[in-house]
Amino acid sequence: MKNEYLQADVNEKYPASARLSDQQKETSCCDNSGCGGIENSNFNNSFEKQKGCNPVVDPGVGYGLLMEFAHIKPGDTVVDLGSGDGNDCFAARKLVGKTGKIIGIDISESMIEKARKTAQNIGFKNVVFRPGDIGQMPITTFEADVVISNSVLNLIPDKENVFDEIYRILKPGGHFSVSDVAITGSLPLEIKEAAGMLTGCVSGTIELKTYLQIIRASGFVNIEVQKKKAIHLPDEVLLKYLNNLQLEEFKSPDKGIFSVTVYGEKPKQCCCCCNC
């Protein structure tokens, strides 16, 4: 399936989680009950103990607790890519304080609306939400000190463009920390072409080595995998897409799917060949 069709499927299904009731979320994809039948604990951690968490707006999607790794300081301007209901933005607000600024970007108007209402109810004046495509971010060049993203970049086919955009909006010396999914070895074509698995956070993955090469090619330095956690896919899920022989090959020791948190810095001084 071509990238544009996969992207259209994500654009249709991902925003729908903003409109689900709590009861519906319990049985939807990428919620607390599972991602396309995949145990969500493989991807996710509880937000409840995260500083600044607002459990009312936590939609139950995401791979990790970014505040632990993002090195956010008081006064920082933080951009959250795919901000959803705004939970990571509200957590980051606790770290930047009144002198900082949080900007959430999401392609879903319904999620932007929910996040704005929550910010208004909480009384956060320095947390703003902008509708937009993270492939062409509505952010000024050199605007951000920190970029975060939780369980979103995996859904974007053109990762090269996204990391170029992250590089563009970061100030020299700024950094990003993103939670995502990556693989070692190659996914079978049957899974890659299954759009349902994409919105279930799997088929949009690329190899970790390639992922890091893309980041490096965008100009980032001091790149680090801050966290890596193996994801278990039950046989009954895989057998929806693979036959028994393909399943045996897929489960070989040199292959695997991982929840990862990746960090990178924009150089403080850019050379003439960099996209500064």
pTM greater than 0.95: no
Tell me what pLDDT residue 34 has. Answer: 41
Domains in the chain (CATH in brackets) are: 3-265 (3.40.50.150)
Residue 9 has pLDDT above 60, yes or no: no
- Whether 22 has a pLDDT exceeding 80, the answer reads no
Strand partners, 225: 262
**Residue 43: predicted pLDDT:** 43
User: How far does Cα 257 stand from its chain's mean position?
Assistant: 16
Name the band, by pLDDT with cuts 50, 70 and 90, for residue 263. very high
Of 37-41, 107-111, 267-271, the range with the highest mean pLDDT is 107-111
81 pLDDT tier (thresholds 50, 70, 90): very high
Rg of the chain (C-alpha set) = 18
Alpha-carbon span 165 to 142, nearest angstrom: 11
Tell me the sheet residues that pair with 76: none
Q: What's the whole-number average pLDDT of the chain?
A: 78
- What is the spatial distance between Cα 125 and Cα 104, in angstroms, rounded to a whole number? 13
Between 199 and 266, name the one with better pLDDT: 266
Task: Give pLDDT tens digits for 132-155.
Answer: 999 999 999 999 999 999 988 888
How large is the average pLDDT for residues 190-196?
A: 66
- In the chain, % of residues over pLDDT 90: 46
Question: Which pLDDT tens digit goes with each residue over 26-47?
Answer: 333 343 334 444 444 444 444 4
pLDDT(187) > 60: yes
Residue 19 has pLDDT above 50, yes or no: no
Pairing of β 127-131 and β 101-106: parallel
pLDDT score, position 193: 67
The pLDDT value recorded for residue 269 is: 78
63 compared with 99, residue with greater pLDDT: 99
Q: CA torsion, points 243, 245, 246, 252, in degrees to nearest 10?
A: 140
